[in-house]
């Protein structure tokens, strides 16, 4: 099974071959195997497939959501937490915001590492590809937050 980098490198090789060919015997330009330059944003597809198909991200979000109040209730510290002059909804909202920020930090870390690997392999996303990368990041965070919210 080929990795995302292997597929990208094969597409890039096909593109570079097509750019170096000349005219054929009919006088037409031979475009070779690929007529377009492969986009580095295609490498982020593995992150999206990993979140959606393996359900690993959803399990992490559900575990964080389940642990938000259950751990406090089982350890008995929720009674002392609610005995302070703090409204219950402030405690629950604070735990929810903390869980959402933890998930956003995890997704951001994965995307930063992916961009770093791209740059190490001399694959630089263009300015027109960054909005797509940020959209993938946002959809990933939104997916995990929705799984987190279902459990909370």
- How does pLDDT run across 32-58, given as a tens digit for each residue? 544 566 677 777 776 666 666 656 677
Q: What percent of the chain lies above the pLDDT cut of 90?
A: 7
The token pair at 61 is 């979000």
Q: Where would I find the H helices in the chain? A: 4-19, 45-53, 56-75, 77-83, 88-120, 130-151
Q: Which of 21-25, 60-64, 140-144, 145-149 has the highest mean pLDDT?
A: 140-144
Instruction: Quote the pTM value.
Output: 0.64
């Amino acid at each position: 099974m080929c990795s995302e980098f292997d597929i990208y490198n094969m597409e890039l090789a096909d593109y570079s071959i097509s750019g170096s060919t000349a005219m054929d015997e009919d006088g037409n330009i031979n475009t070779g195997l690929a007529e377009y330059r492969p986009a580095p944003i295609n490498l982020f597809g593995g992150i999206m497939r990993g979140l959606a198909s393996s359900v690993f991200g959803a399990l992490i979000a559900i575990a964080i959501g389940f642990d938000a109040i259950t751990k406090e209730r089982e350890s008995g510290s929720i009674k002392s937490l609610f005995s302070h002059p703090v409204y219950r909804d402030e405690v629950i909202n604070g735990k929810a915001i903390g869980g959402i920020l933890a998930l956003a930090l995890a997704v951001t870390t994965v995307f930063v590492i992916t961009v770093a690997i791209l740059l190490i392999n001399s694959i630089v996303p263009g300015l027109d590809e960054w909005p797509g990368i940020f959209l993938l990041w946002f959809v990933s965070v939104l997916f995990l937050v929705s799984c987190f919210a279902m459990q909370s």
